[in-house]
Structure formats: structure tokens, C-alpha cells
Amino acid sequence: MMEGDFRQHSMDEIRSRLNQCGLKATPQRMRVYAAMCRLGHASADAVYLHLGSDKGTMSLATVYNVLESMTEAGLLVRRPSFSSKMFFDVDTSEHGHLYRSDTQELVDISDESLLPAVEARVRECMPEDLVLDRVEIQVICHAGRPADWK
């Protein structure tokens, strides 16, 4: 459900994405955003670990601040998870997620009709004095044996 495959983006494309959102393409931002493009969804800890020696002198707090500034600029979106860990998502469009409790990963649900369908059903039963802001869907799951295994 990603608009174009961010994982394939070159450094020039990453630079122009930062610039489009009004952010200077500093080496720290370039590294953090490139890591986010590779990971898709990640917590600050996961980005920090993923960067390895590439993080240079960046502390975990710096990585977190860089992710927050990108979120404020509209380049990333926050996805709170059931693990209470805050994830960041490179796909800023509205879409549902699977939360894997066994691997602590967020995975996109690639059904574009799911959110509109749930929103329509909820609108039918919502009290009239409430206004629907948006629908967030996060389904908790873990790996298991397929149902047809004996």
C-alpha cells in the first residue's frame, strides 16, 4: 500500500523527499530516512539498531528527535502499537496494520476497501452527538500453523 516503493529510493530521491517537506538534507536525516525507507515501519530503537556503525555519533535520543521532526514535517506518521511502543511509518496514507505479537512488527493490511467499509458501518451506529475523526485498524496476530495442517 506504499506509494511507490520507498525501499528502492536513491540518495537523490531521499534528499528531494526531505526538501519537499521543508527539511534540510543533513547527513543525520539522510541516514535516518534511508533506514526508515528500508524498514517501512520502525520504532526509534529499531532504527538506532538498524543504523549500526552508520549512526556515527547519533545517540538514541537524536534518532528519536530526527524521527519526530520528520513526523512534524509530514514525511512520516506515528503508529502507536499494542506493545505501547511507538512506531513510525514511511507510508503516510490511511491504512490498516497487523501487529505481530511474536516479532513486534507492524505489517500493512493491503485491502484498500477495509477502512472505508469499517467507517461506513461505524457511522451507522455512532451516537449523533459524536463526530468521527478517523478509523485506525490494528489487528494483533502471531505466527501459527495454517488451519488445514493436521
Stretch that binds Zn ion, among 4-12, 20-28, 108-116, 122-130 (CB under 5 A): 108-116
* Residue 89 touches Zn ion, criterion: CB under 5 A: yes
Question: What character string, x for contact with Zn ion (CB under 5 A) and - otherwise, covers 19-58?
Answer: ----------------------------------------
Q: Is 94 in the site for Zn ion (CB under 5 A)?
A: no
The answer to whether residue 96 forms part of the interface with Zn ion (CB under 5 A) is no
71 near 88, Cβ under 8 Å? yes
Among 91, 94, 105, 119, which residue sits at the site for Zn ion (rule: CB under 5 A)?
A: 91
From candidates 94, 105, 108, 119, binder to Zn ion by CB under 5 A: 108
* Minimum CB distance to Zn ion, residue 22 (Å): 23
Q: Which is nearer to Zn ion, 73 or 107 (CB)?
A: 107
42 close to 50: Cβ distance less than 8 angstroms: yes
Q: Which chain residues interact with Zn ion by CB under 5 A?
A: 89, 91, 108
